Structure formats: structure tokens, C-alpha cells
């Protein structure tokens, strides 16, 4: 059985992430979507909220589970006995840092392989940061995020719903 980890900060999950989950679920026997901390980003959603959102969107995928971990991705892979890390690549701008992380993870444990999936061109412009920016100014994010998590994101980010009165 081939088990792969799809890690990310998912702050919040977008249609781009869902596309990778969907495609990975067709390639691997088991996919673990793992919420990890990105020390370079200040999170908007708590770990629990992110897990909750991801759990809602993976309901149609019986071979996908959601988990969270505080620590190194490579330690988590070892803990779960997974030898594959899946990363989504949207643009050349993603490449440099992803390449650095993949090589670092290989240095830490050469048994674990990082595999990249090219984004679907429909979603290549979407990022969690863009979703947060649009929503925080009251813009429409319906086409950017899965419908199951739309309300939760709006509640947290839109100006009128986050402030009383
Ligand atoms: O969705 P993101 O923010 O691009 O995901 C990045 C993430 C969370 C996968 C990355 O920051 C990570 O692996 N964090 C765990 C800590 C770790 O292992 N750091 C070393 C990576 S070289």
C-alpha cells in the first residue's frame, strides 16, 4: 500500500488544494492531508479550524484522512510510515523554495521522496493569501474556495462579520 502525505499550512484551504487532494487520491492508495506549522507565516486560522475545514472537504474521498502535527514534516512522515510527500506547484515562483525544502527533507531522511504535482491551470492564481486579502475587503471568494468551507472563511475574514455592530 502506497501512502502519501500532502502537507501544508492550509490557512485556509482553497480550490487549488482541493484539486491536488482529488488528483492525489486517484494516484495513491492512502493520502494523509497534514496541517503543519509554517514558521514563515502568521496563521489566521487555528490548527483545529484548519483540520475542521479539511475534514469537511475530504468527506467524498474514503482514502483521504486529515491530521495535524507540530514539528518537522520529515519526523511526521517517519511517524506515519509514509515515504512520499506530495507538493503542489503553481508557478516558477514556487519552485525555488519548494526545491530547497525538498532537498532539506531528503538530507534529513533520504528514504522519503518529495513528488510535485503541477497545478490545474484553472487554479494556478489561487493562494490562501489571495483568498484572505479578497475576503478581508469584502470581495467575493465563492469561486476560490470549496463551498463546504465558504461560511467559515467568510465569518472569520469579512469586515462586517468579524466586527460587532
Ligand atoms: O502551505 P505551505 O505554507 O506552503 O506549507 C509549508 C509547510 C507547512 C509544508 C512547511 O512549512 C513545513 O514543512 N513545515 C513543517 C516544519 C518543517 O518540516 N520545516 C522544514 C522544511 S525544510
pLDDT value at 165 more than 80: no
- Sequence-ordered list of residues with C-beta below 8 angstroms from that of 112, at least 6 positions apart, any chain: 74, 77, 78, 82, 83, 84, 85, 105, 106
Does the CB atom of residue 100 touch ligand 1 within 6 A? Answer: no
What pLDDT score does 158 carry?
83
pLDDT in tens, 103-125: 999 999 999 999 999 999 999 99
**Residues 51, 52, 58, 63, Cα dihedral to 10°:** 50
Does the CB atom of residue 114 touch ligand 1 within 6 A? Answer: no
User: Using an 8 Å Cβ cutoff, are 13 and 57 in contact?
Assistant: yes
The alpha carbon of 165 and the centre of ligand 1 are apart by a number of angstroms equal to 38
Phi, then psi, of 118 in degrees rounded to 5: -70, 140
For the domain spanning 3-123, the CATH number is 3.40.50.620
Termini Cα distance of the chain: 54
The residues that are catalytic are: 17, 41, 90, 128
pLDDT in tens, 122-156: 999 999 999 999 999 999 999 999 999 999 999 99
Whole-prediction pTM value?
0.95
pLDDT in tens, 59-94: 999 999 999 999 999 999 999 999 999 999 998 888
Does the CB atom of residue 9 touch ligand 1 within 6 A? Answer: yes
Best residue among 7, 18, 104 to mutate for probing ligand 1, ranked by most atoms within 8 Å of CB: 7
Does the CB atom of residue 38 touch ligand 1 within 6 A? Answer: yes
Please, which residues bridge with residue 69 across strands?
36
Give the start-to-end residue ranges of the domains of the chain.
3-123
Amino acid at each position: 500500500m502506497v501512502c502519501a502525505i500532502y502537507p501544508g499550512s492550509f490557512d485556509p484551504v482553497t480550490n487549488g488544494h482541493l484539486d491536488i487532494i482529488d488528483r492525489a487520491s486517484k494516484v495513491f492508495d492512502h493520502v494523509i492531508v497534514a496541517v503543519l506549522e509554517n514558521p514563515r507565516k502568521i496563521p489566521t486560522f487555528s490548527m483545529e479550524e484548519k483540520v475542521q475545514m479539511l475534514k469537511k472537504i475530504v468527506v467524498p474521498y474514503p482514502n483521504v484522512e486529515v491530521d495535524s502535527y507540530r514539528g518537522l514534516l520529515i519526523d511526521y512522515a517517519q511517524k506515519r510510515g509514509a515515504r512520499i510527500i506530495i507538493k503542489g506547484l503553481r508557478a516558477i515562483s514556487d519552485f525555488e523554495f519548494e526545491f530547497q525544502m525538498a532537498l532539506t527533507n531528503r538530507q534529513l531522511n533520504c528514504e522519503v521522496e518529495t513528488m510535485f504535482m503541477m497545478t490545474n491551470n484553472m487554479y494556478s492564481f489561487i493562494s490562501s493569501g489571495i483568498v484572505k486579502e479578497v475576503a478581508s475587503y469584502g470581495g467575493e471568494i465563492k469561486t476560490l474556495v470549496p463551498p463546504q468551507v465558504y461560511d467559515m472563511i467568510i465569518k472569520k475574514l469579512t469586515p462586517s462579520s468579524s466586527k460587532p455592530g
